[in-house]
Amino acid sequence: MLEEKRNGPISGLDVEHQLIWLAGKAGVKRNKLHLFRGIATLLHDHFQPEQKRLLFCLLSDIEENTPWPGIDWHWVVSG
């Protein structure tokens, strides 16, 4: 799906979702992920289409090359 998205237009929301995913993987607590929500318009207004595509592709490369750690049952139960 990420590969398909790279070929289409990239929106600020697409980049926002990638940033939220990366923040979660980087250890940002679930109750703090809201810091990265609602920035799609900011990204749309301040980045040209090719800049959004480049940023999305870089973040997608990180996602695709991040090993799956398995299920964190503590995270699932505490959510």
| Residue 69 clears pLDDT 80, i.e. is over it | no
Residue pair 10/47 in contact (Cβ under 8 Å)? The answer is no
Cβ 12 vs Cβ 43: under 8 Å: yes
Per the model's pLDDT, the better-predicted residue between 49 and 79 turns out to be 49
| 55 vs 7, more confident | 55
Give pLDDT tens digits for 6-49: 888 999 999 999 999 999 999 999 999 999 899 999 999 999 99
Query: Is the predicted pLDDT of residue 78 greater than 90, yes or no?
Result: no
Handedness of CA 5, 8, 35, 64 (dihedral sign): positive
CA dihedral 9, 15, 61, 7 (to 10 degrees): -10
Rounded mean pLDDT of 58-66? Answer: 91
pLDDT for 58 equals: 94
